[in-house]
Amino acid sequence: MYDAREKAIRDYQWAMNSARREGLDEGEIKGEIKGEIKGKVDLIQRLQAILEIPASENQVLQAMDLSQLESLADNLQSQIRNRMSS
């Protein structure tokens, strides 16, 4: 009886630690994605400033997903390259 209780306590502690680790990992991933988005938003606004076009509002850019932001940044970088080669 005593061994079964100890096992149940260890199992519970293991499950709690596992859930805590999963939560931390998930939070870390979300933080990384948020950081990537913020970095892309900053890059896009700097590229727009270089091109002397009105900067997009943070809210508009932050509503986009990462692939959309990357595409927009690539497009702006291409515009800068084209201007430099002309």
pTM score over 0.85: no
Is 41 buried (19+), middle (13-18) or exposed (0-12) by CB count in 10 A? buried
Predicted confidence at residue 1, as pLDDT, reads 66
Question: Which domain covers residue 29, as residue numbers?
Answer: 2-85
Distance CA 23, CA 17 (A): 10
Spatial contact of 76 and 48, defined as CB atoms under 8 Å apart: yes
Encode pLDDT of 29-65 as tens digits: 999 999 999 999 999 999 999 999 999 999 999 999 9
